[in-house]
Amino acid sequence: MTPVPAGSLLAATDLRKTYGTTRALDGAQFSIHPGEVVAVMGPSGSGKSTLLHCLAGIVTPDSGSITYAGRELAGMSDAERSALRRTDFGFVFQFGQLVPELTCVENVALPLRLTGVKRKEAEATALHWMERLQVEDLRAKRPGAISGGQGQRVAVARALVTGPRVVFADEPTGALDSLNGELVMQLLTETARAASAALVLVTHETRVAAYSDREIVVRDGRSRDMERFV
């Protein structure tokens, strides 16, 4: 088995995952260091989203190894992996996936509330992150009353509110126009780096990958680190 790169916060070696007769991952590798931004690129159906879901402990690979902070994800219970996704991992999805019944500040505070933080404290922390993402004026609005670009910045604030060590962003600008996409990427990468969070960007867009420190290309379930091929 391929060794885990020294100093990695999150690493995967020889990942394989099959759905029926479809081989989604076929020996994929991955590693990311604290504070690093890595873009996972590839065409639709290449396996990049499956790789992200495995790294986040959402999907269990058929074989291979994933380590986070020196621990094997396979050795954790479902409850332990769920706890990681509430505290150590943050998520930004293509369409934001905000809860429509909650205000924006309540959406951002939700991950803290799920860990038992009292409402006043959670919303104060949420407002701090909304200010950093330049959406504090939306605190009382609901997702249906704001634009897509604003909603995605609210979603970024929600992803960062718990102080995660790893942020997973799956096509974070896929539903936005180019102007809003650039603003979201600028704020996402700046705030993640300022918080020393590792950022995994899944994208097929070169303009999004340009914000990363390093690119990993996934094709037919296999990956290669482009840093080693330049």
pLDDT tens column, 80-135? 999 999 999 999 988 778 999 999 999 999 999 999 999 999 999 999 999 999 99
Per-residue pLDDT for 228 more than 70? no
Question: With bands split at pLDDT 50, 70 and 90, how would you rate the model's confidence at 4?
Answer: low
The domains located in the chain, with CATH, are 10-223 (3.40.50.300)
Concatenating the DSSP letter of every residue in 4-32 gives PPTT-SEEEEEEEEEETTEEEEEEEEEEE
DSSP state letter for 141: -
* Per-chain mean pLDDT for the chain: 92
CA–CA distance, 123 with 135 (Å, rounded to integer): 14
Greatest Cα pair distance in the chain: 51
**Which helix H or strand E contains 193, and what residues bound it?**
helix 178-194
Average pLDDT (17-35) is 95
pLDDT of residue 1: 52
CA–CA distance, 222 with 80 (Å, rounded to integer): 28
Cβ count within 10 A of residue 80? 12
pLDDT of residue 2: 59
CA atoms within 13 A of residue 96's CA, in its CB half-sphere = 24
CA–CA distance, 107 with 40 (Å, rounded to integer): 27
pTM: 0.91
Closest CA to 207 of 180, 228, 229, 225: 180
Closest CA to 211 of 192, 230, 229: 192
Q: How much of the chain is helix, strand and coil, in % rounded to 5? A: 40, 25, 35
Are 87 and 162 in contact by the 8 Å Cβ rule? The answer is: yes
Q: Is 200 helix (H, G, I), strand (E, B) or coil?
A: strand
pLDDT of residue 204: 87
CA–CA distance, 65 with 88 (Å, rounded to integer): 19
Per-residue pLDDT for 175 more than 90? no
Question: With bands split at pLDDT 50, 70 and 90, how would you rate the model's confidence at 230?
Answer: very low
CA–CA distance, 126 with 31 (Å, rounded to integer): 30
